[in-house]
């Protein structure tokens, strides 16, 4: 199954995706995480040593330009580049969780990144089509990625939302765009939910109840500041993770 996660910046989507990945692994599933956020943090979140040494594929400009087939001075590039060998070359593993970091082109005044984006979209599409594993994609914050089609053919989109009016506005905009992109199944996960009042607010504001709510707790912040992987404390969130995965896996395609 192919699951993408999105949300307003700072709502905790990377933390929640790492926790869900851990629980899927505990269920005996094969899990591949794809960090497609321009500011990738998944490597640190799952405990990969020296995450600063992880080179995002998007920063490998020569490789990407070569694979796109774009010639110097030419406005044309290959829309179907060869990417079959990239997963093996750029995949990392930690405690049974596999990770690829896509990243993004972040050079100022670098001009059009058509070649890079073409290869990244092709790679993501190919991995999304792999039927034998769970592919969990950590998208960039906000709504822009839906306009680029980078979650094409995802089976399910999780939208993380916190109990605030601004959080709900962004979440509903993401839902609207995801429907336009014809993502078949979409669900909200509440985060930083303190009490029943927060749950009621989200249900009313969203027009439907979240499939799960993660608590407002300092545990994640303290773990991150201590430099420890969140997978160490994933068992503390077993109930909301179970609720979320049960809802995702039980919905018909």
Residue 3 pLDDT > 70: yes
CATH of domain 2-250: 3.40.50.300
The most confident of 66-70, 142-146, 249-253, by mean pLDDT: 249-253
Average pLDDT over the chain reads 83
- Over residues 184-212, the mean pLDDT reads 97
- Asked if 78 contacts 50 with a C-beta cutoff of 8 angstroms, the reply is no
- Asked if 92 contacts 98 with a C-beta cutoff of 8 angstroms, the reply is yes
Q: Model's pTM, two decimal places?
A: 0.84
Residue 63 pLDDT > 60: yes
Q: How far is CA 230 from CA 15, 69, 113, 175, in A?
A: 7, 40, 33, 27
Each residue's pLDDT tens digit, 111-163: 455 555 566 667 767 665 555 679 899 987 766 666 556 665 788 999 999 99
Residue 26 pLDDT > 50: yes
Residue 66 has, within 13 A of its CA and on its CB side, a CA count of 6
């Amino acid at each position: 199954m192919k699951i993408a996660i999105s949300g307003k910046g700072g709502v905790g989507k990377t933390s929640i995706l790492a926790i869900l990945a851990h629980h899927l692994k505990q269920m005996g599933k094969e899990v591949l995480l794809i960090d497609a956020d321009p500011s990738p943090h998944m490597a640190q979140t799952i405990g990969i040593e020296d995450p600063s040494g992880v080179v995002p594929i998007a920063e490998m400009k020569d490789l990407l330009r070569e694979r796109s087939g774009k010639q110097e001075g030419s406005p044309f590039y290959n829309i179907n580049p060869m990417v079959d060998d990239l997963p093996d070359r750029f995949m990392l593993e930690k405690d049974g969780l596999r990770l690829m970091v896509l990243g993004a082109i972040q050079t100022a005044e670098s001009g059009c990144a058509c070649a890079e984006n073409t290869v990244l979209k092709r790679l993501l599409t190919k991995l999304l089509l792999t039927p034998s594993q769970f592919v969990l994609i950590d998208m960039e914050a906000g709504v822009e990625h839906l306009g680029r089609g980078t979650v094409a053919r995802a089976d399910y989109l999780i939208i993380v939302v916190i109990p605030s009016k601004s959080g709900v506005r962004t979440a509903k905009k993401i839902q609207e765009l995801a429907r336009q992109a014809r993502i078949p199944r979409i669900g909200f996960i509440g985060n930083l939910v303190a009490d029943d009042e927060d749950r009621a607010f989200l249900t009313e504001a969203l027009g439907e109840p979240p499939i799960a709510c993660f608590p407002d707790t300092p545990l994640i912040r303290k773990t991150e500041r201590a430099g420890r992987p969140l997978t160490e404390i994933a068992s503390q969130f077993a109930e909301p993770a179970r609720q979320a995965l049960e809802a995702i896996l039980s919905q018909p395609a």
